[in-house]
Amino acid sequence: SQKIEQNSEALNIQEGKTATLTCNYTNYSPAYLQWYRQDPGRGPVFLLLIRENEKEKRKERLKVTFDTTLKQSLFHITASQPADSATYLCAYESGNTPLVFGKGTRLSVIA
Amino acid sequence: DADVTQTPRNRITKTGKRIMLECSQTKGHDRMYWYRQDPGLGLRLIYYSFDVKDINKGEISDGYSVSRQAQAKFSLSLESAIPNQTALYFCATSDLTATKGELFFGEGSRLTVL
């Protein structure tokens, strides 16, 4: 079956450092991967999308990479701030199917 | 006003009761979804609808039903609620014609079944 995994349930990082979150997938080739941010008790909010033919996508302090050989996407937050503390979800879609989400990584940025 | 509105935001009910969670959207999107979120299990798809006449089961549809009353409205029903349906429920929408396919989520409906 198709699976998408986020390796770390939680990640603690010092303010100012770069946070790197990992998303791995197996048994399929997604057309694209998406990353969302979710704050406690709130709905997820879309951040970035990267297509299978793109290696890297950037938005302000955020960067996403997509390695189809490793079947992995990395999500980076540079110069992290306490306000970046949240749960980050990766999701894939292959063909005309709804998004399938990973379980998320809870990021805590410590001042 | 929120683009995707869910009601109620919080509900406590008893085992065996019928519950309806409602979702309405002002984004004009054709596609609507119901997800359930549990600690440690992430977001799981219950039902989805790609247009008014289209209803599809998701990963965990047992014990749930849906109704797409209009393009803007998609409701989720629990005919006879049970305690393991206690969860945070999210409605989401997406645009059929968008190149991104990103989802827009509501603020969630927290359901507790005693």
Average pLDDT over chain A reads 91
What distance in Å separates the CA atoms of residue B19 and residue B65, rounded to the nearest whole number? 11
Contact call for residues A48 and A32 (beta carbons, < 8 A): no
What distance in Å separates the CA atoms of residue A52 and residue A43, rounded to the nearest whole number? 26
Q: Beta-carbon neighbour count of residue A72 at 10 Å?
A: 16
Residue B85's SS3 state is helix
> Tell me: the pLDDT tens digits for B63-101?
999 999 999 999 999 999 999 999 999 999 998 765 567
pLDDT of residue A27: 73
Tell me whether the omega of the peptide bond preceding residue B8 falls within 30 degrees of 0, making it cis.
yes
Contact call for residues B90 and B9 (beta carbons, < 8 A): no
State percent of chain A over pLDDT 70. 95
Q: Could B42 and A32 be called an inter-chain contact, meaning their C-beta atoms sit closer than 8 Å?
A: no
What distance in Å separates the CA atoms of residue B102 and residue A108, rounded to the nearest whole number? 25
pLDDT of residue A53: 87
**Residues in chain A within 8 Å Cβ distance of B102:** 34, 46, 49
What distance in Å separates the CA atoms of residue B67 and residue A78, rounded to the nearest whole number? 44
Residue B84's SS3 state is helix
B92 contact A CB<8A:
yes
pLDDT of residue A96: 67
**Total CB pairs under 8 A between chain A and B:** 49
Q: What are phi and psi of B84, to 5 degrees?
A: -75, 5
Tokens of A6: 């986020």
Minimal CA–CA distance to A86: which of A23, A16, A13? Answer: A13
* Length of chain B (residues): 114
| Structure confidence at residue A1 as a pLDDT band (50, 70, 90) | low
Tokens of A66: 């997509």
Contact call for residues A8 and A66 (beta carbons, < 8 A): no
A45 contact B CB<8A:
yes
